[in-house]
Structures are given as C-alpha cells and as structure tokens.
A and B are shown apart, each in its own frame.
Chain A
C-alpha cells in the first residue's frame, strides 16, 4: 500500500486497513477514487458524526473476517422473479431477459452524486467490482408487464460490495426486491433508483443476518414528475444493520411511500434511516415505521423530511414511527425531523414507544391465549400496517415476522 493511500484515513483500524488494501487492488479509476475519498474523509462512520450517533460502524467493525456460516433460505425468490445474486466472490444474473429490461454490467465505477452524504454508499461505489463482479450493474426498465427483479446479497466471505443503478423509463411499472441474508462479515450496497415521468416502482427489502455481521444498504432515489415509489422493509438487524434511503422529489406530483418494520432480538441492531427532500411542488410522502425489540436488541429510527421554501409548496407528508419495547433491556432510539421552510404545506409526524397494552394482554390471556402467543399476535398486528405495501410479498414478509415472533 502506498503512503498516499494510507493517509486517506487517519489511524485506521484493521477493518479500515483492509478496505484501503481492497481499494488499492482495484484498477485506477477517477470516479472510484472520488467515491473512496468521500468515504475516507470521515473514516468508517462513527458515533461522533451526526446521523451515526446510534450506529457506530467503526466500533462494530474492528476487523473484516468471514463470520460463522448460517444458511438462510431466500423466501423472496419465487417463480416470477428474475434473480441477480451478489456474493463476496461472484455475481450471477439471469440469461434470458424479457423485452423491456436491459442489463449492462459495467466494470468501472460511475459518478455518484450523493457520495458526501452517504459514506457507506460511497464505499460500496468505490469497492464494487474486481474479478467478474460489475463495478456498476446498470438496469434499464421500460414497459409495464414485467417480472419482479430480485437482488440477493449473501454468501460466505469477508466482504460483499455491490452497486446497482436502475433507470425506470416514463410510464414503466416494475417491482424490485432485495434480500440481505448475511454470510459476509461486512456487506455494503448502493442502489440508485431513478424514476422518470409517471414511472411506478415498488421496492421490498428483506434483511436478516447474524450478530457477527455488519451490513449497510444505501438507496438513493430520484423521482421525476408524477413518479410513484413504494418501499417496504422488513429488517431483523445484525451486529449492525443500517438501511438508509434518501429520496429526492425532483419534479411536481411525485409520491413516495417508505414503510418499514424492524424486529430485533438480543445482539441485533437495526437502523432505519430515511431522508426525503421535497424539492418540487405538490409532492407526497407517506412513511410508517414499526418496530418491536427484545431484551438486548436495539432499534434505531431516523427520519427526516426537508421542505425548502422556494420549491416545496403544497407538500403533503406524514411520518409515523411506533416502537414496542417487548422486554426490559430493549432499546429504541428515534429521531424524527421535520425541516420545513415553505408555508403552504401539510406535514405531520408521530413518534411513540412503549410496552404492549396490559388490557389487551389480559383480555387475550383471559380467553385462554398463552402469554407468549398473545404477545406474538399483538406484535404481529402492531407491525402489520408497515408491511401492507409489499404487494405480492406481503404474505411472505408476514410469514417471516410470524416465525420470528413464535420463537
């Protein structure tokens, strides 16, 4: 490693040295270099950086090593899905693509506009590629009668980096899903969704990993006029799991729905972070996040709505976060932020955390439902609203949540 490279990070830990080494082995590329420098400016994100206060990646990721193998079935793979897999060492994509879907696996990195504000997205942009893996996987979608695109990020190894750009052409309609099933000590992905005029995209994110893994999924979403983006997430956390979405309403009448449920058992940390910029008039955002946490689990919700004064008039936005602390020792950190400069807007938010309702618990137990079962039923009902937007995958997600609750 050259001295110049090492100077990018001050006092790097073993994990950061490994990231530097990986960067050094990739071919020279000015865009890659800019992405890596954007990442390296603040090192791995840590608790002294606003936005990472409760999700200290630097502390959690001391070294990058292969975790003990745990196999998790990917229940989001169904007959009608086109499956793309990213593993620490390889990449597969479907041979036969239907009309309307074009895929380009580019070896080099592409420019990443939001690099400064999304350090782990920038890292994914910088370290994707090498070997047979694409530096950027570009997908163009046109048409309406299309199969679901499914991206799976899993497989044993030290680290798994991936970058995918999806361009949805005007009026196109497509469903996309992502499974993060663990297997690598560190996973970082960057997904860039660009919806052109009137395009509709539904994205489902399923995340499950062990307490030995650190994972960051960063999504950057651009919405043109009248585009509709719906996101539904079910996260079980990991040693650290950060699922971050940045949405930019760029033209009038765009709509974003950002729903998520997190369920965290002992040793699991799930962070749902969203940032929505209402940069055009009459855009709509709906957000429902529900969480349930057991003793030793930790949930983080950070939601931000920005409505600039000159462009954000007639914004209609609502943010709700409700968390259940199922046991003593459960932790939930929440930071809802509304930053509104326009005067003709409707923006609301609600944020609650608490225990299960004692009246409901007693009512159910009086009818003969055992305490654990009553708790599971109430918790499933509590998070259900957040999963309703998953379309065909709602039942799959509900089933996963139910199985977790029944443990």
Chain B
C-alpha cells in the first residue's frame, strides 16, 4: 500500500536534512505505529508524505498503491486518498465546518473525475457520523476549529476522516492534549476506519494511544531513519526502558 524507500528530505530555507534514508512499508489493512523521541523527524515525515511547502524531497521514493505521490500537489495526494490528522488542527475563521468538508469532498471528487455529492446525501452522511462521534450538530455549523477545545478539534479531525473516506491515514500525535474519555472516543473512531483496503500510520510519543489503537507493527524513528521495527510489545518496552535504552541497544 504505502511504500517508502530510502527517503531523504530537507526542511526550510537552510535545507536542513531531517529525513535520512527512511524505508518503511505499510501493507493494506495494517496499522503501523511510529514512535520516536523529540526531533526524530516524525512530524516532518507526515508533512513530506502530504506535500507541505518547504519540505523538499532530495532522494528516494514514496508510492501509494504503486503510484509515486511525491511529485503531486497536496490536494492531488488527498484525492488519491492520503489523509493527515494534524497534531495541531488549524483554525479557519469564517468557514463553517460543513462548508469546508463539503468543498473538500467535492474538490476531491472533481480531481478523481467523479460527480459531486448531493446536498441531502451529504447532510445524511454528516448527521450519521456526527452521531457516531457524539459531536454536537451545532458544532458543524461553526467555523472550522475556532473556539474548539483540544478534544473537539481532534474529534473533528476524525469526523473529517470518516466523511472523506481516505485510503491511507496518517495520525500525527492524535493523542496530544486529550483526556482519557476523549482519547477513547477518538480511538473508537479510528478503529472504525480499519479496513482490509486501508492502511494507517500512527505517529505518537507515548504508548498510551496504542492501548486503544492496536498496531500490527511498531517502528522506532530516530535521526530521520527507522532504526528498529517490532510487534506491539516494542511499544511497551519503549515505555518501560525509554528511547535511550532501546536506541542504545540498536546502535
């Protein structure tokens, strides 16, 4: 599904190299976790994969279902099915959630050469998903993320994810800023998205989120490379021994 080979990338005007020959494959139907210390390149990886300005690929490849995504504009990657749940969801004053998501959905459909969704279909879909996520329908009339609590913002990310039905999800520190109840709701939403034809990359600092979203594999990212890969138990070992302990062993 998502295949990254020997990827190198730089960030910013001074072209600092943050990703240093990263190789990783997430097959369809699997959930992989990426854990790593601060500054390892976790968020950078998510931005490189989704095409943010200022993140420049200098070598290697990344393909989604065999298709090179690195040359595509962010919106084209989205239309191909890439979805990034942001660590810090962005406020968009003046644009109501419903308008935003419907515009996004129809833009994606247009890029894929599909027909737009009808207003009644959209509203029904939105209502059903809001109910699943225990989202107040009034919230969907408010401007995107403006005045939302941390938990509301993350739930809105999951709402968008469920509405847009992407093929591949990247969850960047989705657990940050969430209390345990919000974490459970968010995890339930993510688990509901698990499907045989869908892959997920869960980026996290802590093992806690992985108690709720069970990964098939855990990768450790440090200095811009995957330096260790294991099963779910690796997350527990990291929690117990810290990155230093595990990294020391790897080096």
- The CA of A23 and the CA of B77, in the complex, are separated in Å by 65
Which residue in chain B gives the minimum CB-CB distance to A384? B94
A362–B104 contact, CB under 8 A?
no
Which residue in chain A gives the minimum CB-CB distance to B93? A381
A362–B53 contact, CB under 8 A?
yes
Interface residues of B in 56-110 (CB under 8 A from A): 73-75, 77-79, 82-84, 86, 89-95, 99-101, 103-105, 107-108
A368–B111 contact, CB under 8 A?
yes
Interface residues of A in 319-363 (CB under 8 A from B): 357-360, 362-363
Contacts of B101 in A (CB 8 A): 367
- The CA of A381 and the CA of B73, in the complex, are separated in Å by 24
Binds B, one of A26-34, A95-103, A238-246, A372-380: A372-380
The answer, yes or no, to whether A382 is at the interface (CB within 8 Å) is: yes
The answer, yes or no, to whether A366 is at the interface (CB within 8 Å) is: yes
The answer, yes or no, to whether A5 is at the interface (CB within 8 Å) is: no
Contacts of B79 in A (CB 8 A): 368
Contact A367-B94, Cβ < 8 Å, known A358-B53, A373-B103, A373-B107? no
The answer, yes or no, to whether A111 is at the interface (CB within 8 Å) is: no
Query: Shortest beta-carbon distance, A368 to chain B, in Å?
Result: 4
Query: Shortest beta-carbon distance, B91 to chain A, in Å?
Result: 8
A360 contacts which of B73, B92, B164 (Cβ < 8 Å)?
A: B92
The answer, yes or no, to whether A369 is at the interface (CB within 8 Å) is: yes
- The CA of A369 and the CA of B105, in the complex, are separated in Å by 8
Contacts of A373 in B (CB 8 A): 103, 107
Query: Shortest beta-carbon distance, A4 to chain B, in Å?
Result: 57
Among A366, A370, A381, A382, the one with the most B-chain Cβ atoms within 10 Å of its Cβ is: A366
A365 contacts which of B74, B105, B160 (Cβ < 8 Å)?
A: B74
The answer, yes or no, to whether B50 is at the interface (CB within 8 Å) is: yes
B75–A365 contact, CB under 8 A?
yes
B89–A366 contact, CB under 8 A?
no
- The CA of A384 and the CA of B143, in the complex, are separated in Å by 13
A363 contacts which of B53, B73, B89, B103 (Cβ < 8 Å)?
A: B89
Contact A366-B84, Cβ < 8 Å, known A371-B73, A371-B75? yes
Contacts of B107 in A (CB 8 A): 368-370, 373
Contacts of A382 in B (CB 8 A): 94
Contacts of B160 in A (CB 8 A): 367
- The CA of A163 and the CA of B73, in the complex, are separated in Å by 53
- The CA of A366 and the CA of B169, in the complex, are separated in Å by 12
B92 contacts which of A358, A364, A371, A385 (Cβ < 8 Å)?
A: A364
Residues of B within 8 A of A (CB): 50-53, 73-75, 77-79, 82-84, 86, 89-95, 99-101, 103-105, 107-108, 111, 143, 160, 164
Beyond A366-B84, A381-B94, 14 extra complex contacts between A and B, CB < 8 Å: A360-B91, A364-B100, A364-B104, A366-B74, A368-B108, A368-B164, A369-B100, A369-B103, A370-B111, A373-B107, A377-B103, A381-B95, A381-B143, A384-B94
Residues of A within 8 A of B (CB): 357-360, 362-371, 373, 377-378, 380-382, 384-385
A-B contact pairs, 14 of them (CB 8 A): A359-B90, A360-B92, A362-B90, A363-B92, A364-B104, A365-B78, A366-B74, A366-B78, A367-B78, A367-B104, A367-B160, A373-B103, A378-B95, A381-B94
